[in-house]
């Protein structure tokens, strides 16, 4: 916590990794009059606002299970680097602290509920990223990547 407090006073990026550290940083902010906050920008997306409206007005039911999956390419090149990669600042959570915080906020906005439990299956597909491991397409080629989930019942059940 000492390193994070020092960084906070120096107005650099700080990642909160526990409720306790978040509380301490909030107190530091109040006592030093530093303006701080988190910009959860997806919550104002028109589609998110429409989903929120439909759930709140009973047009659709409150989701009981929210599933998210995404592919990351923010470390595509060997030269890609920022403060999120420093373990003394961000431990090992990297994308979780960044993208996951936004989707969790979006889910809470849409459902009107608070997340109390998360199950995460974290996978690192490539431990070392670089140009030589990337997919290269010729100008005339295209690629379609997607997922499909199908639920069958009766004689066609899998």
For residue 42, the model assigns a pLDDT of 87
For residue 62, the model assigns a pLDDT of 84
For residue 114, the model assigns a pLDDT of 87
In a 13 Å sphere around the CA of 105, the CA atoms on its Cβ side amount to 15
Task: Return left, alpha or beta for 39; rule: phi > 0 is left, psi -120 to 50 is alpha, else beta.
Answer: beta
pLDDT in tens, the chain (158 residues): 444 455 555 555 555 656 677 777 777 777 776 666 667 888 899 999 999 999 999 999 888 888 777 766 777 776 777 766 776 766 666 666 677 888 888 999 999 988 888 777 777 666 654 444 444 444 444 444 444 444 444 444 34
For residue 128, the model assigns a pLDDT of 57
**Domain edges within the chain:** 1-37, 39-131
For residue 119, the model assigns a pLDDT of 76
């Amino acid at each position: 916590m000492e390193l994070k407090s020092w960084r906070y006073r120096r107005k650099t990026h700080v990642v909160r990794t526990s409720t306790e550290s978040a509380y301490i940083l909030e107190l530091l902010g109040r006592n030093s009059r530093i303006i701080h906050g988190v910009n959860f920008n997806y919550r104002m997306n028109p589609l998110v606002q429409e989903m929120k409206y439909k759930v709140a007005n009973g047009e659709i039911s409150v989701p009981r299970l929210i599933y998210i999956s995404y592919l990351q390419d923010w470390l595509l090149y060997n030269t890609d680097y920022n403060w999120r990669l420093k373990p003394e600042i961000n431990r090992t959570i990297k994308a979780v602290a960044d993208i996951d915080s936004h989707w969790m906020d979006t889910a809470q906005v849409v459902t009107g509920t608070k997340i109390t439990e998360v199950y995460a299956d974290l996978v690192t597909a490539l431990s070392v990223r670089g140009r030589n491991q990337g997919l290269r397409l010729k100008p005339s080629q295209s690629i379609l990547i997607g997922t499909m989930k199908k639920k069958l019942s009766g004689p066609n059940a899998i």
